[in-house]
Amino acid sequence: MTFAIGGAVVAIHNDWSTVLAAFVSAIGWVALAEGVLLLAFRERFISTFAGMARMDSLITLFGVLTTGAGIVLLFLVFGS
């Protein structure tokens, strides 16, 4: 799923002309790379990050950072 979504974003939106466009393109490339790693090294890749999934403070921090980044991006897109 990650590989397919990353590949779709890269195929449709590989634009590096503005900061926001580059951010979307970079997210697509990161998702594509993650998908390739999951396909090639499934067990090793998952076991590397499995310990992090059990850390409640890390999950909370990631949620706060993701929400904050989403709010900033919405402001940049719709606020101007």
**Residue 49 structure tokens:** 């990050």
* Average pLDDT value over all residues in the chain: 89
Closest to 15 measured CA to CA, from 25, 30, 7, 26: 25
Angle at 52 between CA 50 and CA 57, to 5 degrees: 150
The pLDDT-based confidence of 47 (bands split at 50, 70, 90) is confident
Model's pTM, two decimal places? 0.72
Strands (E), the chain: none
Mean pLDDT of 16-32: 91
47 found inside a domain: no
Q: How many domains does the chain have?
A: 2
- The Cα–Cα gap between 42 and 48 comes to 10
Residues 31 and 10 in one domain: yes
Q: Exposed (0-12), middle (13-18) or buried (19+): which is 45, by Cβ within 10 Å?
A: middle
12 found inside a domain: yes
Q: Is the pLDDT of residue 62 over 70?
A: yes
Q: Is the pLDDT of residue 25 over 90?
A: yes
The pLDDT-based confidence of 80 (bands split at 50, 70, 90) is low
- Domain range for residue 36? 1-40
What pLDDT sits at residue 17? 92
45 found inside a domain: no
What pLDDT sits at residue 55? 87
